[in-house]
With several copies, the nearest count.
Chain A
């Protein structure tokens, strides 16, 4: 630890105070608030918390101090899951279905996003899944599209960050990581190949839109080529 000797008592007291406060908190505590309570700067508080977290880990405690959803909180150590799970059994929320997860991924990366936009990407109606996600607190309405129709726009919640153990949305792995590689694109293109039947095949490359836009490309403005087309 880097404190000057003079600093030591202050730091020791600050650590204790953080431990004491986090023990009675029932949601992640903003470092700003901690800083205010113990009268240290926010960066200092963050530094202390990081040191404390590392300390608990080194001491092989059964709990961890994590930064999640913008604040700090105590949690059981993941390795203690077998014991803790037997204990908190009823508190366990059911896992999300694959459909719900994919919808959640779209909301997470495209927020704010409307139901219709999500349905266009998923290719199926998402009303039911969206309701499930909202009921379980993963997503919420965060506004309305200023355009005509004023579609409700959805985004992820604080609870979403907590459930995924993320400090902020910036911690989501970049979507670019998931864009299919050239091999996949090629395989798909091959699978959907159209053999030109026009007399002048040379003109085709111009008229056919170039490579697919990829996942960030324009969403089909007409919505899903669904029953309503």
Chain B
């Protein structure tokens, strides 16, 4: 089951963020962006090994994007350029993220206790032997009230295919853009420009989701060794450098289909 993509340590993006902040005592403003992105990349890679869950991957990236946004504001203290509404929105975003992290932590701890309860209870096994034969005739007829129709329905139910574990993607469906498409665009575009900043690469995009998909596509290319990612200065722009040759064989990109539900 894909959602059971359980890395040993992190169950999801909140988890990783919780970990980064609480266990590593990371101050997101004092650590370099690349460290955080690296941590997320490592997680993505681990997830990839286990069969990537696009949902979770996207969520990871969204959180990463939020963090980048938070950091970006911090790093560009151009007061004239920042509009009040945006600033307030940022605060709201932060508080939302904060309360979600707290909620996540609460249920994580609660789950731990439930798990202990179950483990304790699991050491004791119930008696289920049931009725002894000598009482069998006594019990009222168990088929009382059961119709042949119900029996047929039960058969249909019993023989219906059991849900097959698989990557759930339908709910990401209304996307007009897929990672595979984005990769294709990039493979088309990057050889021509050679080197480009991520910001420039996404400047024409309106929706956050599009940016995320683009980001995911960049990561995919990085994973495949077709681009190099560089962040020349701490907190700086991410630079993407094309490593592949001019006419990259698209067939090599077949693997991306994994993302594409």
Contact = CB atoms under 8 A, between A and B. Distances in A.
Interface centre among B6, B25, B138, B163 (most CB of A within 10 A): B163
A132 B4 contact: yes
Interface in A172-196: 172-173, 175, 178-180, 184-185, 187-195
Contacts, number: 400
B4 A193 contact: no
A58 B94 CA distance: 56
Interface residues of A, number: 102
B11 interface: yes
Interface in A75-92: 75-78, 81, 84-85, 88-89, 91-92
A92 B139 contact: yes
B87 interface: yes
B173 A102 contact: no
A229 B208 contact: yes
A93 B108 CA distance: 22
B185 interface: no
Contacts of B151: 101, 104-105, 108, 164, 172-173
B96 interface: yes
Contacts of A212: 95, 98-99, 102, 160-161
A107 B118 CA distance: 16
A219 to B, nearest CB: 7
Contacts of B141: 94, 163
B26 A191 contact: yes
Contacts of B168: 125, 127-128, 216, 224
Contact of B150 (A74, A101, A185, A216): A101
Contacts of B21: 187-188, 190-192
Contact of B163 (A22, A85, A100, A131): A131
Contacts of A10: none
Contact of B82 (A75, A95, A197, A211): A197
Contacts of B106: 175, 178-180, 214-215
A25 B131 CA distance: 7
Interface stretch (B52-60, B186-194, B220-228): B52-60
Nearest to B55: A125
Interface string A53-88: 000000000011010100001111110010011001
A2 interface: no
B124 A75 contact: yes
Nearest to A123: B14
B9 to A, nearest CB: 10
7 contacts: A109-B152, A123-B104, A132-B1, A175-B106, A180-B105, A195-B77, A227-B62
Interface of A: 22-27, 63-64, 66, 68, 73-78, 81, 84-85, 88-89, 91-92, 94-106, 108-109, 121-129, 131-132, 135-136, 138, 160, 162-166, 171-173, 175, 178-180, 184-185, 187-195, 197-199, 201-202, 204-205, 207-209, 211-220, 224-229
The 6 closest A-B pairs by CB, nearest first: A226-B171, A217-B163, A165-B121, A191-B21, A128-B3, A215-B106
